[in-house]
Amino acid sequence: ANTCAVLESGSTNLKDLKAGTYKVDKFCMEPTSFTVKDESQFKGGETEFVKTKLMTRLTYTLDQMSGILKVDGSGNVELQETDGIDYAATTVQLPGGERVPFLFTVKNLNAKGTLDAFGGEFVVPSYRGATFLDPKGRGGS
């Protein structure tokens, strides 16, 4: 129910792709873990990415996406996401118990790199207001 299909045939080796531009339809992304940039408890301290526990169930894969994949002859690759179900409301829990709601998205992702590893940066906004953990709305925002 919340897993991407696995192809039984074909190659999983991206190096088998010939140089060129490919249109990719109906692909799926299923994250295996989430890390969150956590602020230091000390003033002027370092921020770091920490591992989290997924709290959202059955709705965090991105599916039916399409895009353009460009492969050049020297092993460089570029993936541009263009359409599809490219966002999912997700909540994770930090080691101290704090829950972090965010919109897991790759909308308009332009990822670059080599065939071994490629990625891109983008900002992921929160999708819930200050009353998320307190439905009665106590406290300020």
Q: What is the pLDDT of residue 92?
A: 93
CATH of the domain at 107: 2.40.160.30
Q: Taking the chain, what is the end-to-end CA distance rounded to the nearest angstrom?
A: 36
8, part of any domain: no
123, part of any domain: no
Q: What is the pLDDT of residue 43?
A: 79
101, part of any domain: yes
Contact 28, 4 (CB under 8 A): yes
| Domains identified in the chain, total number | 1
Q: Residue 87 class from Cβ within 10 Å (0-12 exposed, 13-18 middle, 19+ buried)?
A: middle
Q: What is the pLDDT of residue 127?
A: 62
126, part of any domain: no
Query: What domain range includes position 49?
Result: 19-115
Confidence (pTM): 0.69
Average pLDDT over every residue of 91-103: 90
Distance CA 31, CA 62 (A): 9
